[in-house]
Amino acid sequence: MPLETTLILFKPDAVRKNLVGQVLARFEGAGLKIRGLKMMRLSDALLREHYAHIAAKPFFPEVQAFMQQSPVVALALAGENAVAKVRELLGPTDSKKAAKGTIRGDLGVDMMVNVCHASDSVEAAAAEVKRFFADAEVF
């Protein structure tokens, strides 16, 4: 099994509802290890880069406003097949479609208010970890 590092962003809903510790405990309980962790505010430029695939869409300003409602917590997690494992633990992006027992099924609200962003591939994870963490911040 390949050892991977993936990016998680605890979205403003998770931060405001004090869910970060509870969700982090689920990730650690599944055998994932913290490689980097920090709280930060997301700039317009960083959000445009991170969400480049939707930045031209008419709903992007709503996403941007949501992601800037509060600081977020950026997390680099490592483990065997970390990308797939995290996505399985989270459940589908749309919390309304997520099964109970998944993080989004238990704690999410909808497509945007869904607790966490998670990298969707090994390649995306590598780029996203570099986007949110300096090399010296990942251990």
Instruction: Give residue limits of the domains in the chain.
Output: 3-134
Round to whole Å and give the CA distance between 91 and 6. 16
Query: What pLDDT does residue 125 have?
Result: 98
From residue 129, alpha-carbon distances to 5, 50, 51 in Å are 8, 11, 14
Strands 33-40 and 3-10, sheet pairing: unpaired
Q: What are phi and psi of 119, to 5 degrees?
A: -55, 145
Look up the CATH number of domain 3-134: 3.30.70.141
Query: What pLDDT does residue 38 have?
Result: 98
Q: What is the model's pTM?
A: 0.95
Query: What pLDDT does residue 96 have?
Result: 97
67: pLDDT strictly greater than 90: yes
Q: What is the identity of the amino acid at 70?
A: S
Q: Which one of the listed residues 11, 50, 85, 117 is annotated catalytic?
A: 117
Does residue 50 carry a catalytic annotation? no
Query: What pLDDT does residue 26 have?
Result: 98
Is-contact 128 42, C-beta < 8 A?
no
The pLDDT confidence band at residue 8, using thresholds 50, 70 and 90, is very high
Strands 116-118 and 3-10, sheet pairing: antiparallel
